[in-house]
Protein backbone atom coordinates (compact mmCIF):
# COMPACT_ATOMS: atom_id res chain seq x y z
CA UNK A 1 0.00 0.00 0.00
CA UNK A 2 1.20 3.51 -0.72
CA UNK A 3 2.53 5.59 2.15
CA UNK A 4 -0.10 8.32 1.66
CA UNK A 5 -1.65 8.85 5.10
CA UNK A 6 -4.67 10.57 3.56
CA UNK A 7 -5.60 7.32 1.80
CA UNK A 8 -5.63 5.38 5.07
CA UNK A 9 -9.07 4.61 6.53
CA UNK A 10 -9.67 6.33 9.86
CA UNK A 11 -8.94 4.23 12.91
CA UNK A 12 -12.05 3.99 15.09
CA UNK A 13 -11.77 5.32 18.61
CA UNK A 14 -12.34 1.87 20.14
CA UNK A 15 -9.62 0.17 18.10
CA UNK A 16 -6.54 -0.86 19.98
CA UNK A 17 -3.23 -2.19 18.68
CA UNK A 18 -3.01 -5.98 18.66
CA UNK A 19 -0.05 -7.25 20.69
CA UNK A 20 0.02 -10.65 22.37
CA UNK A 21 -2.15 -11.10 25.49
CA UNK A 22 -1.12 -8.98 28.45
CA UNK A 23 -1.86 -9.35 32.12
CA UNK A 24 -2.74 -6.70 34.66
CA UNK A 25 -3.01 -7.22 38.38
CA UNK A 26 -4.14 -10.69 39.36
CA UNK A 27 -3.29 -12.32 36.03
CA UNK A 28 -6.33 -10.75 34.38
CA UNK A 29 -5.67 -10.75 30.60
CA UNK A 30 -6.54 -7.67 28.57
CA UNK A 31 -8.43 -8.17 25.29
CA UNK A 32 -6.80 -6.14 22.55
CA UNK A 33 -8.53 -6.32 19.19
CA UNK A 34 -6.86 -5.51 15.86
CA UNK A 35 -7.23 -1.91 14.70
CA UNK A 36 -8.73 -3.10 11.43
CA UNK A 37 -11.59 -4.97 13.13
CA UNK A 38 -14.37 -2.43 13.65
CA UNK A 39 -17.35 -3.43 15.76
CA UNK A 40 -20.12 -1.26 17.18
CA UNK A 41 -19.44 -0.03 20.71
CA UNK A 42 -22.48 -1.98 21.92
CA UNK A 43 -20.82 -5.25 20.83
CA UNK A 44 -17.26 -4.35 21.82
CA UNK A 45 -17.49 -6.06 25.26
CA UNK A 46 -18.65 -9.27 23.55
CA UNK A 47 -15.81 -9.12 20.99
CA UNK A 48 -13.28 -8.60 23.76
CA UNK A 49 -14.77 -11.50 25.71
CA UNK A 50 -14.51 -13.67 22.61
CA UNK A 51 -10.85 -12.73 22.29
CA UNK A 52 -10.16 -13.64 25.92
CA UNK A 53 -11.94 -17.01 25.82
CA UNK A 54 -11.29 -18.31 22.33
CA UNK A 55 -7.88 -19.26 20.96
CA UNK A 56 -9.56 -19.70 17.58
CA UNK A 57 -10.90 -16.13 17.58
CA UNK A 58 -7.47 -14.85 18.65
CA UNK A 59 -5.98 -16.70 15.67
CA UNK A 60 -8.53 -15.04 13.39
CA UNK A 61 -7.69 -11.62 14.87
CA UNK A 62 -3.96 -12.26 14.50
CA UNK A 63 -4.42 -13.19 10.84
CA UNK A 64 -6.48 -10.05 10.27
CA UNK A 65 -3.92 -7.87 12.04
CA UNK A 66 -1.28 -9.15 9.58
CA UNK A 67 -3.25 -7.46 6.78
CA UNK A 68 -3.48 -3.73 7.57
CA UNK A 69 -4.68 -3.15 4.01
CA UNK A 70 -8.10 -4.53 4.95
CA UNK A 71 -10.65 -3.00 7.29
CA UNK A 72 -13.54 -5.19 8.44
CA UNK A 73 -16.61 -3.23 9.54
CA UNK A 74 -19.29 -5.13 11.48
CA UNK A 75 -22.85 -3.84 11.60
CA UNK A 76 -25.81 -5.33 13.44
CA UNK A 77 -28.99 -4.64 11.52
CA UNK A 78 -32.59 -5.61 10.91
CA UNK A 79 -31.83 -5.86 7.16
CA UNK A 80 -30.52 -9.39 7.74
CA UNK A 81 -32.84 -12.11 8.92
CA UNK A 82 -32.59 -13.30 12.49
CA UNK A 83 -29.62 -15.56 13.13
CA UNK A 84 -27.96 -14.81 9.78
CA UNK A 85 -25.04 -12.81 8.49
CA UNK A 86 -23.68 -11.50 5.17
CA UNK A 87 -20.20 -10.42 4.15
CA UNK A 88 -19.09 -8.32 1.20
CA UNK A 89 -15.43 -7.88 0.34
CA UNK A 90 -14.43 -5.10 -2.05
CA UNK A 91 -10.94 -4.70 -3.43
CA UNK A 92 -9.73 -1.17 -4.15
CA UNK A 93 -6.34 -0.17 -5.62
CA UNK A 94 -4.86 0.66 -2.20
CA UNK A 95 -7.11 -1.14 0.28
CA UNK A 96 -9.68 -3.84 0.84
CA UNK A 97 -12.90 -3.23 2.72
CA UNK A 98 -15.19 -5.84 4.15
CA UNK A 99 -18.71 -5.06 5.29
CA UNK A 100 -20.31 -7.62 7.58
CA UNK A 101 -23.98 -7.42 8.46
CA UNK A 102 -25.46 -9.57 11.21
CA UNK A 103 -29.14 -9.76 12.13
CA UNK A 104 -29.41 -8.12 15.54
CA UNK A 105 -32.52 -9.87 16.79
CA UNK A 106 -30.80 -13.03 18.03
CA UNK A 107 -28.01 -12.20 20.52
CA UNK A 108 -27.51 -15.91 21.27
CA UNK A 109 -26.02 -16.34 17.79
CA UNK A 110 -23.67 -13.33 17.81
CA UNK A 111 -20.50 -15.19 18.81
CA UNK A 112 -20.90 -17.87 16.18
CA UNK A 113 -21.90 -15.37 13.49
CA UNK A 114 -19.04 -12.95 14.20
CA UNK A 115 -16.46 -15.74 13.92
CA UNK A 116 -18.23 -17.30 10.91
CA UNK A 117 -18.37 -14.05 8.94
CA UNK A 118 -14.81 -13.10 9.91
CA UNK A 119 -13.68 -16.46 8.53
CA UNK A 120 -15.30 -15.57 5.19
CA UNK A 121 -13.11 -12.46 5.11
CA UNK A 122 -10.05 -14.60 5.84
CA UNK A 123 -11.07 -16.97 3.03
CA UNK A 124 -10.93 -14.01 0.68
CA UNK A 125 -7.51 -13.00 2.01
CA UNK A 126 -6.39 -16.57 1.26
CA UNK A 127 -7.55 -16.12 -2.34
CA UNK A 128 -10.35 -18.66 -2.07
CA UNK A 129 -12.52 -18.46 -5.21
CA UNK A 130 -15.90 -19.53 -3.85
CA UNK A 131 -17.63 -19.10 -7.21
CA UNK A 132 -15.22 -21.48 -8.94
CA UNK A 133 -15.30 -24.00 -6.09
CA UNK A 134 -19.10 -24.05 -6.03
CA UNK A 135 -19.22 -24.38 -9.83
CA UNK A 136 -16.84 -27.35 -9.61
CA UNK A 137 -19.06 -28.95 -6.97
CA UNK A 138 -16.34 -28.90 -4.34
CA UNK A 139 -17.71 -30.39 -1.15
CA UNK A 140 -18.10 -27.78 1.60
CA UNK A 141 -18.84 -24.78 -0.65
CA UNK A 142 -22.50 -23.99 -1.26
CA UNK A 143 -24.11 -21.19 -3.24
CA UNK A 144 -27.07 -19.82 -1.33
CA UNK A 145 -29.84 -17.41 -2.25
CA UNK A 146 -28.96 -13.91 -3.50
CA UNK A 147 -25.63 -15.15 -4.88
CA UNK A 148 -23.94 -15.54 -1.50
CA UNK A 149 -21.79 -18.54 -0.64
CA UNK A 150 -21.28 -20.47 2.54
CA UNK A 151 -18.46 -22.82 3.44
CA UNK A 152 -17.96 -25.65 5.85
CA UNK A 153 -14.75 -23.88 6.92
CA UNK A 154 -16.66 -20.80 8.13
CA UNK A 155 -19.38 -22.95 9.73
CA UNK A 156 -16.81 -25.03 11.63
CA UNK A 157 -14.89 -21.96 12.84
CA UNK A 158 -18.10 -20.27 14.01
CA UNK A 159 -19.16 -23.35 15.97
CA UNK A 160 -15.66 -23.75 17.45
CA UNK A 161 -15.52 -20.14 18.69
CA UNK A 162 -19.04 -20.47 20.12
CA UNK A 163 -18.03 -23.67 21.94
CA UNK A 164 -14.85 -22.06 23.29
CA UNK A 165 -16.96 -19.19 24.67
CA UNK A 166 -19.55 -21.49 26.29
CA UNK A 167 -17.69 -24.52 27.60
Q: 10 pLDDT exceeds 70?
A: no
Q: What is the pTM of this model?
A: 0.75
Query: What is the distance between the alpha carbons of residues 121 and 32, in angstroms, rounded to a whole number?
Result: 20
First to last CA, the chain: 41
Which helix (DSSP H) or strand (DSSP E) does residue 22 occupy? strand 22-24
Residue 117: CB atoms within 10 Å: 23
Q: What's the pLDDT at 163?
A: 96
Lowest mean pLDDT among 13-17, 36-40, 128-132: 13-17
Query: What is the distance between the alpha carbons of residues 53 and 161, in angstroms, rounded to a whole number?
Result: 9
161, 54 Cβ separation under 8 angstroms: yes
What average pLDDT does this structure show over 82-102?
A: 76
What average pLDDT does this structure show over 120-141?
A: 84
Q: Quick one: pLDDT band at residue 64, thresholds 50, 70, 90?
A: very high
Contacts of 17 (CB under 8 A, 6+ apart): 32, 35
What average pLDDT does this structure show over 115-138?
A: 86
The mean pLDDT of the chain is 77
Closest-CA residue to 60 (of 166, 157, 130):
157
Residue 20 lies in a domain: no
Domain of 141 in residue numbering reads as 25-165
Into how many domains does the chain fold? 1
Above pLDDT 70, what percent of the chain? 73
Residue 38 lies in a domain: yes
Which helix (DSSP H) or strand (DSSP E) does residue 65 occupy? helix 55-65
Q: What's the pLDDT at 150?
A: 81
Amino acid sequence: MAGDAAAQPPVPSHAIAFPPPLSHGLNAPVALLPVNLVVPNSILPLARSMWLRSPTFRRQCRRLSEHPEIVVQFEFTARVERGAGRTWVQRHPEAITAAVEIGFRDPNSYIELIAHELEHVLEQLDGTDLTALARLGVNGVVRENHGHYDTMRACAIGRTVARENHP
